[in-house]
Structure 1
Amino acid sequence: MVHLSFGHSFAELVALILLPGLAFYLLNKKKAGARRNEEDADTGAPGSMTPPTEANSDGSSSFPTETNDGGSTSSPMETNNGASSSSPTETNNSASSSSTATTGNRYEVFLSFRGPDTRYGFTSHLYKGLHDAGIDTFRDEEELPQGEDIGPEILAAITKSQILIPILSEGYGTSSWCLNELAQIMKCKNDNGQMVLPVFYKVKAADVGHQIGNFGKAFHEREERLLERPSFDRTSLEKWKKALGEVSTLKGYEADG
């Protein structure tokens, strides 16, 4: 476990500790992808072929289009029901992204955090540091998301991100939204091998894993309120506790604030 103490600004510490590791990992991934593309090109593998183009009447070329159910055509960025799909830079009613670009439709980093705890401090500095280093980063911009179930766009952003960074603060365990994100993060790690780098912000990893200390106190207060709801699905608690236990065992960073 790496301990951070803030004698310098957080942006400096991020540059010195976190960013070089992320940059090295991402650079190796990109080099490996480039090598695979070169090998495919040399061997004539199907993956190296470029999509066929069609000539327009003015002599220019365009990508092939697909026919929707209604007979209209759509570009590859549109869905077959006629509604256009939003790119990673577009927003919708439930969540929005601060990222301006992706690599191969994949974000490089996804940040999961409790807004009232860290949005305008730790997370803001971390996001800026990643952005300034050229690392495409997704963060949910909604201050208070509507409802508790994370939407499909958040699930997709988690699934498509190479590195997942949950910022576990004292209030993280009081948010069903955050806990559902964490459960999905750990599922992606276990199923897809995605890298998870937790940051324990003003909490100890053991407190998160065993739901004790200030983190545990806040978590159990929320648990009691949820259990009073007749409609609450108690299996969610087991899913959250399992995710908290798993993330607490990972090598991460402890930021004492």
Structure 2
Amino acid sequence: MADAALQVPTRPAPAAGAVSLEEAGAARAAALLDQRLREASPLEVLAAARTQFGDKVAAVSSFGAESAVLLHMIALVDAATPVIFLDTGHMFPETLAYRDTLIDTLGLTRVQTCHPDPAAQAARDAEAGLWADDPDACCSLRKVEPLDRALAPLDAWINGRKRYQAATRARIPVVEWADGKVKFNPLAALGPAEIEGWMRAHALPRHPLSRFGFASIGCMPCTSRVKAGEDARSGRWRGAAKTECGIHMRRLSTTT
């Protein structure tokens, strides 16, 4: 378990390319917290996040193929931890149903569903076809911008990324400083066998699409089945160079 809470200064992210002294101090504090939690269990990381930040930290979940593991751990530590779900308007109906199933099964009490800004959507994607013409712009409209609004009053957030999922995630730390927030990755070191073992040990409900070969589940138009031997995220934006929606790929963390 982590030592007494560190003093992590927070402030709005500076202009692109600018790093203030205050932010540099926060980055160092986040790096120290990463050192303390590097060998900690996911439950210990989650407990430390709540101890450190209280209601100024929230988890962000896609309610996708492996989301039940992190959400179950959150429920074990504190079921009142805020959880943010981004409903892009392109979600599988099965995902929305699965969200409701997990909320009920795990007893999560503070799940907030966020949507794209209606005015921005009308101006930039009135026909809902932006995903095909410019997937980066679509992700910005439907995921990045809504998440930025949801995270604005917070100092930190928790996500379920794992190093094994893709080459772009192979070096993620347990704690990092990115885009003006402390970011917790409690499952970073877990592998597929550990995720599957937790699912089975706790008889957690599975996403309805998992049995059809969907290993990573996002928006319906941009998600496909994963073939044998492919990494877990190869079914996202298949055929394109794009591998991330953008919420984890903005200004690089200064702790990595």
Q: Given the two structures, how large is their TM-score scaled by the length of structure 1?
A: 0.35
* Structure with greater Cα Rg: 1
Q: Given the two structures, how large is their TM-score scaled by the length of structure 2?
A: 0.35
